[in-house]
């Protein structure tokens, strides 16, 4: 019978240890999709946008106008952005101002997307190179921020806004923003 070498036992032991570590971190780690935001609690970074369509983009002053608002990063090539479009229309119709940032998109594609889905945005601009998104710490689109009237970021929500996300996450943050 062949003698077992410690080197033969080592790989399965290491694998079992790593598997146990990953399992424990997933059980204790909370939401694995939740990525931290460097912006929550801080002043909104500068607005660096180019016009998209006929109207000029919003500005830094827009984010500090004394009213709570949403800032939404989106793109025409983003399927979840298309999925959240009806909910954004509903939110805008309720009187909540939403400011749109078109992320790394072709102008003609972005305008076609808005023509097809409708535009819930009070004002909009394009971030062609992604520089503004980088300053905001955007991980991907869609991504939405709740901004208070002084321009402070109160919440970052990655992913499409659904009815549930609206009532459980975004709306409470907006109410907090309006109270500040």
Contacts of 83 (CB under 8 A, 6+ apart): 160
155 bridge partner residues: 146
Q: Is 89 exposed, middle or buried (0-12, 13-18, 19+ CB in 10 A)?
A: middle
Q: What is the pTM of this model?
A: 0.80
Percent of the chain past pLDDT 90, that is, above it, reads 73
Domains and CATH numbers, the chain: 60-179 (3.40.30.10)
Lowest mean per-residue pLDDT among 14-23, 140-149, 151-160: 14-23
**Residue 180 pLDDT level (bands cut at 50, 70, 90):** confident
Sign for the CA dihedral angle at 58, 61, 67, 68 comes to positive
Q: What is the pLDDT of residues 48-104, one digit of tens each?
A: 999 998 888 999 999 999 999 999 999 999 999 999 999 999 999 999 999 999 999
């Amino acid at each position: 019978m062949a003698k077992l070498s410690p080197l033969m036992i080592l790989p399965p032991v290491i694998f079992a240890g790593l598997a146990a570590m990953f399992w424990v971190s997933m059980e204790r780690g909370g939401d694995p999709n939740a990525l931290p935001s460097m912006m929550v609690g801080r002043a909104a970074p500068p607005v660096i946008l180019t016009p998209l369509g006929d109207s000029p983009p919003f500005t830094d002053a827009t984010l500090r106008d004394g009213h709570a608002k949403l800032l939404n990063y989106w793109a025409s090539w983003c399927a979840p952005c298309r999925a959240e479009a009806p909910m954004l229309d509903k939110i805008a119709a309720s009187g909540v101002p939403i400011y749109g940032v078109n992320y790394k998109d072709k102008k003609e594609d972005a305008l076609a997307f808005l023509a097809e889905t409708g535009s819930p945005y009070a004002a909009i601009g394009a971030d062609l190179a992604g520089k503004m998104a980088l300053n905001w710490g955007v991980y991907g689109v869609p991504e939405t921020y709740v901004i208070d009237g002084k321009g402070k970021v109160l919440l970052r929500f990655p992913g499409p806004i659904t009815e549930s996300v609206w009532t459980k996450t975004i709306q409470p943050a907006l109410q907090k923003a309006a109270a500040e």
